[in-house]
Structure 1
Amino acid sequence: MTAPFSHGGFGHLLANSLTFLPLSWLVLLRGRGDYLAVWLGVYAAAIPVWLLWPVGSHGLSGVVYGLLGYLLLIGWLERRILSLVLSLAVLLTYAGILPSLLPIFSPPGVSWIGHLSGFVGGMLAAWAMARQKLPDPRV
């Protein structure tokens, strides 16, 4: 549970922070509830990895990918122009880190499964938040 707060050195912490801070800021612009939802989604998606994956991982990158997954999906779910522009801008800016969601593109020693579970957790958070904000069609 403390994996996001442990790092393998200053370089690891710096690399994660340079992506974590702007993505966190973008999600926080949408609201504290959205930010909390991403963290909860990342932790929920990480539980099977923690229980079943034979090698542990640490670092903030799972949360980084959760923030990224949330920001990429929320625009398409809400279908509002500002949300779509945000999703597109995030895609264009951070597309280069998406291949590390797959084991064949992840360097040795990098937890692709941690990245993927974080990304899925962020997408779950986007789905939950978009669903919560949609008007009730029965009204």
Structure 2
Amino acid sequence: MIALPLILLGLAWLQELVDQLIFGGRWNLAMGPGTPWWSLFTAPFSHQGFGHLIANSLVFLPLSYLVLARSQRAYLSVWIAVIVMEIPIWLFWPVGAHGLSGVVYGLLGYLVLIGFLERRPLPIVLSIIALLLYGSALPGLLPWASPAGVSWIGHASGFVGGLLAALAVHRAPAHLDD
């Protein structure tokens, strides 16, 4: 399972390479109005160029491994919750969104809450590390603090997905952990 974040990130890099080299940056797999349901699963792997992908990659891997330090179930729970939280955006939000940032905010949301919920050393340390390293990204959840063209709603839904994943993992029986 330790390779999973690398595999997922590799898919995003492969998509961007194909997009740039073959389609000239026009192969967009974003979710949004009028896109098929499966775009909920392709949107995290689609980016608006290498700059967008690099920015997401630099945060995605460390946060992924911080969540995996808790458990594999936690990591998968964050991904599932983020995708579920994207459904209303896919159905009702007037502008499409894509990129790993929704998942990044989901991982951050999970890490922020799990230490508070569990009050055990490892989750508390994970929460503190996440806040120290990435707490400055939290204003990206607000529409007035996000740059034009950045999907604050995608960030906010991902963060809420992470919070929901933390609640679900915390409430699940301990024998379900790795």
TM-score by length of 2: 0.73
Q: How does 1:51-66 map to 2 (within 5 A)?
A: 51-66=91-106
Q: How does 1:78-97 map to 2 (within 5 A)?
A: 78-97=118-137
> Pick from 90, 105, 117: which aligns with 2:145?
105
Segments of 4+ moved more than 3 angstroms: none
Q: Which residue of 2 aligns with 1:123?
A: 163
Per-residue Cα deviation, 1:69-126 (whole angstroms, up to 9, x for no partner): 0001000011112211221121111111100100010000000000000000000000
> Pick from 102, 112, 116: which aligns with 1:72?
112
> Pick from 49, 55, 59: which aligns with 1:19?
59
Tell me which moved more, 120-129 or 82-91.
82-91
Aligned partner letter, 1:20: F
Instruction: Determine the C-alpha separation between the residues in 2 that align with 1:5 and 1:89.
Output: 26
Q: Which has the higher contact order (CA 8 A, sep 6+)?
A: 1
Q: Which residue of 2 aligns with 1:29?
A: 69
State whether residues 81 and 161 of structure 2, in contact with CA within 8 Å, keep that contact through their aligned partners in structure 1: yes
Instruction: Determine the C-alpha separation between the residues in 1 that align with 2:162 and 2:173.
Output: 16
Q: Which residue of 2 aligns with 1:114?
A: 154
Instruction: Determine the C-alpha separation between the residues in 2 that align with 1:4 and 1:127.
Output: 23
Instruction: Determine the C-alpha separation between the residues in 2 that align with 1:18 and 1:85.
Output: 21
Instruction: Determine the C-alpha separation between the residues in 2 that align with 1:95 and 1:64.
Output: 12
TM-score by length of 1: 0.93
State whether residues 105 and 159 of structure 2, in contact with CA within 8 Å, keep that contact through their aligned partners in structure 1: yes
Q: Which residue of 2 aligns with 1:42?
A: 82
Q: Which residue of 2 aligns with 1:4?
A: 44
Q: Once superposed, what is the RMSD of the aligned Cα atoms?
A: 1.2
Aligned partner letter, 1:77: L
Overall identity of the aligned pairs, in %: 67
The higher radius of gyration belongs to 2
Instruction: Determine the C-alpha separation between the residues in 2 that align with 1:133 and 1:11.
Output: 41
Q: CA deviation at 1:134?
A: 6.1
